[in-house]
Amino acid sequence: MPVDTKIIKPFGKVTKSLIIGKGPKNITLETLDPHKLRDLLAKEKVAKKGSNIVFIDCQSFADKGNTGSQIHGAIHIDMVGAHLSQAKFNAVIKAKPDVYNKIGGAELVVIYCSYGSLRSPTIMALYEDAVSDVDTRPLVYNDDQYVLLLEGGIHAYEAVKGEVPYLEKYVGMHNGKAKTVSSGGSGKLPQLSGDDHCDIY
């Protein structure tokens, strides 16, 4: 089922000073308002059909700002260090080709961390740089893909009034995966493309 991008447009923009490699870089990223995301996912839930959306959760389990919440089925990437290089990101992500292809083939990729200030913007910038080069992009790649940073991170999504679809709590790790204890709404959720947990460090 195609993603109804009319619900989430127009996108916002933010410029971040990110430490990638040896020094800071000013990078402008497209952003998604958490209220628009709620509206989109509410429609996905009602439609009860799978859609081509992948979420990347960049929260650290050790981060004090971690709310213990995630969006259902998010792929977890926790690898932001003081000097995270493009080469390191490419090596780590390409070591999981099935996950990399899943991200690359999505129509919409939404990236978030606790507040959207450091971790998720860094991973987003590295991903966009990787897919801009035919030698480092995944074998499965959607040329019409939208990659968006969730404004305010998971904190902002949790704060949206009313039912917040696909929001769930987890209680740490189990066999290398985030163990979830509840999910927003009732009943089985329709599948999103990232509907299995994968943790990359």
Domain parsing of the chain, residue ranges? 12-200
**pLDDT tens digit string along 106-136?**
999 999 999 998 889 999 999 999 999 888 8
The type of residue at 119 is: R
**pLDDT tens digit string along 35-45?**
999 999 888 76
Can you tell me the distance from the alpha carbon of 66 to that of 178, in angstroms, rounded to the nearest whole number? 13
Q: Which fold has domain 12-200?
A: Oxidized Rhodanese; domain 1 (3.40.250)
Whose structure tokens read 């989430």? 8
User: Considering the entire predicted model, what is its pTM?
Assistant: 0.84
Whose structure tokens read 């480092």? 136
Can you tell me the distance from the alpha carbon of 74 to that of 84, in angstroms, rounded to the nearest whole number? 22
